[in-house]
Homo-oligomer: A and B are copies of this chain.
Amino acid sequence: MMNWLKRFLIGKPLENEALKHEKYSVFWGLPILASDPISSVAYATEEILLVLVPAIGVLAFHPLTWISGAIVMLLAILTFSYRQTIKAYPSGGGAYIVASDNLGQYAGVIAGSALALDYILTVAVSIAAGTAAITALFPALFQHRVAICLVILVFLFIGNLRGIRESAKIFGLPTYAFILSVLALIITGIIKVKVLGYVPPTPVIHLKSVIEPITILLILRAFASGCTALTGVEAVSNAVPNFREPTTKHARSVLLLLSIFVFILFVGISLLANLFHVVPIEGKTVLSQIAAEVFGSRNVMYYFFQFATTLILALAANTAFADFPMLFSVMSRDGYAPRQLSFRGERLSFSNGIVVLTLVAGLLLVLFKGDTHRLIPLYAVGVFISFTLSQFGMFIKWTRSKEKGWVYKAVINGTGAIVTFVTVIIIGSTKFIHGAWIIIVVIPILMAIMMKIKKHYMAVATQLKLQPEELETLDLSKATYRNHVIVPIESVNKASVRALRYAKTISDNVVAFNIAINEEAEVKFKEKWNFLHTDIPLIVKYSPYRKVVSPLLDFIDSYEEHNYTRGDMITVILSQFSVRAWWQVFLHNQSRFFIMRELLKHKHIVIATMPLQLKNDEVVLKQKCRR
């Protein structure tokens, strides 16, 4: 039943070979990778206005144009920078790899932590914004927005466990639908105002108090909010090997295309906001207000547009579902994350990473009540930290390599590094109290955890490594030490005879061991033991506190004093009943687990577990009666 459900939701297991076919073309790769930055236009303009409007009212639309321009400039710089990264790292040049390669492991781990948080927030913010697009359409759903967020999250979770290729098919169409419908919105809107002379209604604005002066701080805060439009630009460089051959060329094309789209859509929406004087209202997104103005709030185009917005935002969240597990699989291969994160599941996706991402993003959505605006201040800091480290890493790379044309390349990446670093400072300081502090606190914690994990794996590898001198003297052709077998016996029965027989098969040094709680029990046991007519020595220990493990350990200690040579191993044989029905487990003493746990703390003790399959109760008792 559970298995059937799993198959239905996730699909049949895929062979390792299937991995080769799971690659992007430009046409299918663009929607997967471009959806994140492109979908940001659904909330970036609104976030800028949410800073400006309460402070300066309708005057907001003037700086909006300039701020949008600055962000688009930043986008152009990033695009040029990252096209170089793609070329230099054809096997995938995420910030983690570029920073580790050129700036050392600490920079790499910082970049990795920052990116990890970025991906989690991409999921949370995009789903929250996608839900806002739906609730703008159906205000009755506004109170259920957290539930809607979680439903979208679960859909993405299942879709991604199914694997990469199918995701592209499922999620590809909405990106193109969204791009086309925003283009239609922009063109229709401009025609409506400029050609048909439509005069939009004057907005009702609730100022915080009086109109504030336009300060640099205000502009910087608005700029910091708008920078969320650029999150996800780095995803392409990360995913180069996911493309079809020639991977580099395809990836660079996709990056250029997506930048052009972001440019057109972001500038276009900011222009429309300006033309229609739209201001943020709770429950109505800026983009939905524009669309309602342009298409008419009862027009089918308006409904289509809102659905397209939700879908592209879901697709943006999906980007992170591809990137987060991929990042962790790379980091776990380097030893900075638990190794399980580098295992591909039955459908070749990194299932463990997908599970972690879903849980953390779900937690954020619940804690921040699915509110885009409350999540945004956490969002862009991490991204720009990783941008900075990545660009600076590239700069160092060129200055070190001094290959043909290195100065030109270093200037481009150096500019990228400086610009993104300045942006980090702006975002981190202006958004600090609104939530950016969380990221600034969490990154060092994540770093410390990752370094601790790395240390553990290094220590394990060091302990396990065979030294050349060991290999030289190694002789596996015969036994090199003695094996002593201890068989704890509760009572003389088939199980204990079976254990004793096995003991004799693996060693000539066999001792049987019994724990008695009083003299009577000891006498009784020895009587039964004599029926076996065996020369195997029997040791009976008296357990005054009715304990089982410590008398056994005491016996092993005393045994070692007399019979044991350094280097020998001791094997303890434990019988394990395999019951036929779940409830029967509770009818058997589980002391085996305690014994095992304690004994395994001793490196020279091997536990041999002998299974004993119990038959069906009714069948056994019927057979017994027949005899």
Contact = CB atoms under 8 A, between A and B. Distances in A.
B16 A455 contact: no
Interface stretch (A56-64, A179-187, A369-377, A531-539): A531-539
Interface string A475-505: 0111111110000000011110100111011
Nearest to A603: B613
Given A493-B466, A494-B465, A571-B608, A617 B456 contact: yes
Interface string A574-614: 00111000001011110000001001111101111111111
B477 A502 contact: no
A204 interface: no
Contact of A605 (B339, B466, B611): B611
A546 B344 contact: yes
A455 B611 contact: no
B502 A606 contact: yes
A614 B459 contact: yes
Interface stretch (A105-113, A261-269, A413-421, A618-626): A618-626
Nearest to A577: B460
A283 to B, nearest CB: 42
Contacts of A479: 501, 504-505
Given A13-B545, A476-B497, A620-B462, A608 B607 contact: yes
Contact of A483 (B506, B618, B621): B506
B611 A16 contact: no
Given A481-B505, A601-B613, A618-B455, A494 B546 contact: no
Contacts of A535: 476-477
Given A474-B533, A477-B535, A507 B504 contact: no
Nearest to A605: B611
Contact of A615 (B339, B463, B610, B620): B463
A343 interface: yes
Contacts of A624: 462
Contacts of A544: 15-17
Contacts of A532: 471, 474, 476
A346 interface: yes
A90 interface: no
A605 B481 CA distance: 24
Contact of A609 (B495, B546, B609, B612): B609
A211 interface: no
A482 B343 CA distance: 37
A518 interface: yes
A448 B141 CA distance: 51
A617 B455 contact: yes
A453 interface: yes
A466 to B, nearest CB: 6
Given A535-B477, A620-B459, A494 B613 contact: no
A28 interface: no
A605 B502 CA distance: 11
Given A532-B474, A608-B571, A587 B502 contact: no
A338 interface: yes
A464 interface: yes
B476 A505 contact: no
A383 B457 CA distance: 63
A549 to B, nearest CB: 13
Interface in A12-28: 13-17
Which of A470, A495, A546, A624 has the largest number of chain B CB atoms within 10 A?
A546
B611 A571 contact: no
Contacts of A458: 617, 621
A481 B532 CA distance: 19
Contacts of A346: 545-546
Given A17-B544, A576-B600, A586-B338, A534 B607 contact: no
Contacts of A533: 474
A587 B453 contact: yes
A615 B459 contact: yes
28 contacts: A16-B518, A338-B587, A456-B584, A456-B587, A457-B587, A458-B617, A459-B617, A459-B621, A466-B497, A466-B531, A471-B531, A471-B532, A474-B532, A474-B533, A476-B536, A478-B504, A479-B501, A483-B505, A502-B569, A506-B507, A576-B600, A578-B600, A578-B601, A596-B609, A602-B611, A605-B611, A606-B608, A606-B610
Nearest first, the 4 closest Cβ-Cβ pairs linking A and B are A464-B493, A506-B506, A459-B617, A459-B620
Interface of A: 13-17, 338-340, 343-346, 453, 455-460, 462-466, 470-471, 474, 476-483, 492-495, 497, 500-502, 504-507, 517-518, 531-536, 544-546, 569, 571, 576-578, 584, 586-589, 596, 599-603, 605-618, 620-621, 624
